[in-house]
Structure 1
C-alpha cells in the first residue's frame, strides 16, 4: 500500500504501491491486453494470458504472461513468459490473440494459441501501413499450457487481404457463428481487427477449417460504418481503427438472438471529459444480416444498435465461450495511464486484468418510457412496438461472473434496507480497502441526485446518478496534486425505464442498482447490469473508512449488502 516518509514532499518508500489483491496482475513490469482466455476440458483449468514486458515497467518487448485457475478467483501465474519475441516473424512482439482448446487439427488434448506476430514497428492507425509488419501465427501446447511450441508453418497468414489498404490487421479471434451462412462446411470463423484506410474501421472475417487451423479463407469485412461513426452519446465514437474485436451470438430467455461485436476503438474524437487519456474506447455493436452482397469488398453485416462496453479506463476486451456455464465471458485491461511516470515507474508494475464479466442479451418488456429521454433517441437499445402502448427493448447486458462471490468467504457482511435518504446521508463503516457493495435505490420523481460516497479517510470518491441529465458520474480525488494524477470525472449516460403492467396498467420504474468492487486502487461499477465504469483511484490511506448513501426528494435505499475484506485464498506464482 502507498506509504510516505514525508507527506509534504510526497517521497515514497520503495515497497509496491496501490497493488490490487484480488485482481490478476503480472509478477512485475508492464501488463496490457488479456490474451488467449479459455477453458481446457482436459485439465478442467481456465487459462488467461496477458501482454507483458517482464524486463521493464513500460510497453515494449511484448511477450505473453500466463495464468491458470479452476474457479476464476484463485490464479497461479508463471514467473516467466510463456511466449517471447524469439523468431524472425515475431521479433518485434507477440501481440494479442486467442486460444482454441484443441491441437491444430481440431483434436482434443492440446491447446492452440493464435496470435499476431510482429516483425516491424512502429504500427499505428495514423501511419502508412507496412505490409508484412503483422502476420498470423500459432503456438501449440501439449502439456496443459506449461510449454508452447511454434510450428514450422508459421506464419499461417502473411498479412491483410490483397488489394485492401488497411490501417491495422491484428488480434485474431476465432469462434462459431450460428447466424452466419457462407455455404462453407465449417461453422468456425476467424476475426482480425483493423480498418480500411480513409473508409471505415472494421473486422476482417475468415472461414476457418476446424480440422486444420492453418486454413483461413477471407470472406469480407464485417461492417462499414464510416469514420468516427457516433450515433449519439449513448453509443460513443467508433473511431478509425479497431482492436481486439470479439463476436458472440447471445440469446434471451424467449429465444430471441442478436449478434454482438465488442471492439476497442482507436482514433476517437476527443469528447472533453478525459483529455489526459488516449483517444480510444471500449464499445459494442449489434449487427444484422445484410440482404445482398456483390463482392468480398461489401460488408457482411449492417449496423443495428450500439453502446459503450465500459466508460472508464478499461480496454482490449477479450472473450471466450465458457462451456462450463454456457456463457460468454469477457476480461479486459484496466490501465495505469492516470498515474504519472514519476509515481508509476517506482512501483515496479503497471496495469491489471478486470474481474470476469458475463455478457447477455437483456430484454425488458412492457416498457413505457425512460426517465427523461425519448426511447427512440437512446441508440444503445433496440425498441420493438408491443402494440399496447408499450414496447420491448433489448440491449447488451454486462454483469460480474457469479463465481467471484467466492471472494466474500472471509469478509464481514453488513446489510441495511428500507432507509429513506436525505442529502446528509447514512454511513456504513469500512475497515479495509477491499470490498463489494450491492445496493438498490428507489429514486423519487423529483430527485436531483442519488448515490454513494467512498470515504478514503483523507478524501472521498463519489458515485452519483443525476436524473435530470441521465448521467452516472464518478468524481475521484487527487491526493497528491503536485504529481498531476489524472482525476477527471468518469461519466456514463444512464437512464431508468418505467414499465406498465399489461393487466392493471400500473406503472413502476425500475430501481437504480449499483454493484461495485473496490480493490486497493481499482474500482469496477456495474449499474443496472448494463452500464459499467472501471476506474483507478490512488488514495493515501491504507483503508476506506465508510460508504455514505445519499439522496433526496423521497428517495429510498431499498437495500444494501456490503462485504468488507474481500480476497482470494491465495494468488501464487508458480515455476
Structure 2
C-alpha cells in the first residue's frame, strides 16, 4: 500500500523466549493457555476480552463513522455521534471529554432510516447548533438506493441531503425529520459522481470575503457545506454549497471547489498517501496556534478511498485518513477554488478512518471547566474488522465491533530553531517553512498539531491505579530490558522522551518499547531511522492471530521526520516525545505533537502485561522521563 509504505524495512530482531502450551478444549476462555479458534466459542464469550475502558463505543454492536457532533447551546454539553449498526446515528453527551452518557437507553439511535427521503439508509450528518428556529439542525445524507461504491456506476437519486431538528425537550435524543423533500435533492447536473454524501456544515470568513455577495436575508453569516464524493474517470472532489435562506431550505451550489486527479498523490505520496478515487467525510475549519480561529489558516480532514494501482480501478478498500491545509481564491471564471499547501496523515493506522470533528467553543461545559479557548475537536473511527474484510473475525463471540479513538485537539503547530537544510526544505510534505532567520541559519516550520484533548489527557494520566517512573538510561546493546515495575493490567499510559545522537540519522538504529509482553506475546513500538518511521510490529502481538484468521497481525508504521535543531549554538537531533495509550486492545501512539498511529493489539494471555525497553544494538538511544500511569478511567460510569 503506497499510503503506508513506511512499514519496517527490516524487522527489529531482539531475543525473545517462547514456551509451548497445550490447548484445553473449553467453552469458557482460559487466558492462561493457548487460544482455540475463537469462532468456535459461544456467542458473547469474548465480550470483555478486548473491550476498552476509556474509549467511545456503544454498549453492544457495531460503531461506524463519527458524525452529528455539536455543543448544545442550552446546556453547554458536547454531543458526540456515530453511525450505529448500519441503521442510523446514535450518540452521547459529555461535560469533560472523558466521561459519557448515552442519549438513549441501550445506546439506541437518535435518527433512523425509513422516511420518504431515506427509505434505505441514514448516512453521516452535521449539526448547525442554532439552525431552524434556533434549534440544533441536522443536515444528513438520506439514502434511497444501494449499493453505492466508487468502483461501480452511480444510481442517480441514491444520496440526497435532508434536514432534521431536535428541540429542547428532546435534547438530542431524537432528531425529527422535516416533512418535506431533500434540501439538496441531487448531485450537480450532468456530474457522473462516484458518491455524494457526508455533508459537513461550517462558517468561513475567508469564503465570505472572496465570494460574490450572498443572500441578504440572513441575520448572521451564512453557513456552508462541503459534500464529499468524486467524478468517474476524473477524480475525487468536494462539492461546495452556501446557505441561501434563513430556514436552510435552499442551498446555492458553488462548484467543485477542490478536485484531484484520479488516485493521485500529494507530492510523491510519502507524507500523505493517495487522494484515491473518492473523498469521504470531508471537514473544513480554520486554526491558529491556540485552536479554532475562524480567520485562521484553512484546514480540512478527509477520508480517501483508493487503490494500490495509480490509474486502473481495483477494489482493494484502501482507506487513508488525511489532513490538508491550503488557501482559497477566485478563478477567472468566478468560481472558488481550494489549493492545498501541505498535507499529511491524521492517523497512520490501517484501521483509522472517517474522522469528523466540530468546533468546541470556550463557552461549552468542557472548555469552561478547563479554561480552554475555542477549539476544533476531531474524532476518528477505528474499525474493528478491517472495513468488514476480516470475515473470520469472531464478531458474534465479541458482540461489539470498532471504537472511536480519543478526542483530539487540532492546532497550528510551530517547530522552531530548525536547521535550514534540505530536510526542512523538502517540497510537498506535511510541513511548510513559515519564516527564515538567515543570521542563525534556521527556519520555523508550521504543520498540523495533533494531541489528545487536554481534559481527556489529564483524566488518562490521573488513572485509577498507580503511577511509576523508570530511571533514565542509555542503551547501546541489542536486546530487551524489562521495566523495574510493569503494569498489572492492560490499561495504562506510557510517556517518554528518547534522544539520539546526530550520527543516528544515517544509521539502521531501531529503539523503543515492547508492551503487553510475556514469553508468548509482545508488541514492539520503535523509531526506525532507515525510513524515518515509527513502527508498530504486531507480528507477535496476539496468540489468537495464530488460531483465528480474522485477528490481524500486520505491522503498521507511519512517517515522522526528526529535524536537525539548533540548541545552544550546536546542531542536535530532535528528540522523540512519545505518549502511548493502551486501553486493553486499543493502542494509540502520539509523537512530537504532530503524529498519531492507532491500531488493535489483541493480546491473549493474562500475564501479557510487561513493558520492556528495546534496542537493536546500532548506535545509542537515551530514555528519559519514562512514566507509566496505570488504570485509566471508566468512560461510561452509568452503563451496567
Instruction: Give me the whole-angstrom Cα distance separating, in 2, the residues matched to 1:506 and 1:406.
Output: 38
Greater helix fraction, Structure 1 or Structure 2 = 2
Distance in 2 separating the partners of 1:210 and 1:544: 59
Shift of 1:270: 6.1
SS at match of 2:602: coil
Residue 265 (structure 1) aligned with residue 330 (structure 2): no
Structure 1 residue 459 corresponds to structure 2 residue 521: yes
Cα distance change on mapping 1:538 and 1:523 into 2, 3 Å: same
Alpha-carbon distance between aligned partners in 2 of 1:199 and 1:270, rounded to the nearest angstrom: 15
Residue 96 of structure 1 is matched in structure 2 by: 124
Work out whether residues 214 and 244 of structure 2, in 8 Å CA contact, stay in contact via their aligned partners in 1.
no
- Written as runs of structure 1 = structure 2, the 5 A alignment for 1:104-123 is 104-105=132-133, 107=134, 110-123=135-148
Shift in alpha-carbon separation, 1:147–1:157, aligned structure 2, 3 A: same
2:238 and 2:259 in contact (8 A); partners too: no
Per-residue displacement from partner, 1:375-409 (whole Å, max 9, x unpaired)?
A: 31561111245151322211111110011122324
Q: Residues 375 and 39 (structure 1 numbering): CA distance in 2 closer, same or farther, change over 3 Å?
A: same
The CA deviation at 1:473 is: 0.7
Matches within 5 A, 1:11-50: 11-12=40-41, 14-15=44-45, 16=47, 17-50=49-82
Q: Which moved more, 1:330-339 or 1:465-474?
A: 330-339
Matched-pair contact (CA < 8 Å) for 1:366–1:499 = yes
Question: Aligned partners of 1:320 and 1:515: how far apart in 2?
Answer: 24
Query: Aligned to 1:406, what secondary structure does the other structure show?
Result: helix
Q: Secondary structure at the match of 1:161?
A: coil
Question: Which stretches in structure 1 are left out of the alignment for 5+ residues?
Answer: 54-59
Which whole-Å CA distance do the structure 2 matches of 1:31 and 1:463 have between them?
27
Alignment partner of 1:514: what SS?
Answer: strand
Matches of 1:461 and 1:430 in 2, distance apart?
15
CA offset at residue 364 of structure 1? 1.7
Quick one: distance in 2 between partners of 1:327 and 1:158? 33
Among 176, 193, 207, the residue aligned to 1:166: 193
Q: Deviations over 1:295-343 (max 9, x none)?
A: 54xx611121111111111111001010033111001110112554341
- Please name the residue that 2:19 is paired with: none
Q: How big is each residue's C-alpha offset from its partner over 1:207-255, in whole Å with a ceiling of 9 and x where there is no partner?
A: 1257322221111112122111212311111101101000111113699
State the distance in 2 between where 1:161 and 1:543 align. Answer: 58
Q: Structure 1-normalised TM-score?
A: 0.90
Between 1 and 2, higher relative CO (CA 8 Å, sep ≥ 6) is seen in 2
> Please, which of 280, 299, 321 is the counterpart of residue 282 of structure 1?
321
Cα displacement (A) at 1:569:
6.2
Cα RMSD, aligned residues only: 2.5
- What TM-score, normalized by structure 2, do the two folds share? 0.82
Q: Deviation per CA, 1:122-145, whole angstroms, max 9, x where unpaired? A: 011111111111011121111211
Q: Is the 8 A contact 1:440 1:511 kept in 2?
A: yes
Kindly state the Cα deviation for residue 34 of structure 1 after the two structures are TM-superposed. 0.8
**Which has a greater percent of strand?**
1
- How do 1:46-85 residues align onto structure 2 when only pairs under 5 Å count? 46-53=78-85, 60=86, 62-77=87-102, 78=104, 79=106, 80-85=108-113
Secondary structure (helix, strand or coil) at the match of 2:248 reads strand
2:454 paired residue among 395, 399, 402: 402
Matched, 1:440 2:497: yes
Unaligned runs of 5+ in 2: 1-27, 216-220, 363-371
Find the aligned partners of 2:119 and 2:611 in 1 and give their Cα distance.
Answer: 49
1:78-477 map, 5 Å? 78=104, 79=106, 80-105=108-133, 107=134, 110-142=135-167, 143=169, 144-180=171-207, 181-182=210-211, 183-184=213-214, 186-209=221-244, 211-230=246-265, 231-232=267-268, 233-252=270-289, 257-269=296-308, 278-290=317-329, 292-294=331-333, 296=335, 300-312=337-349, 313-324=351-362, 325=372, 326-338=374-386, 340-368=391-419, 373=423, 375-377=425-427, 379-384=429-434, 386-388=436-438, 389-404=441-456, 405-407=458-460, 408-422=462-476, 423-428=478-483, 429-447=486-504, 448-457=509-518, 458-476=520-538, 477=541
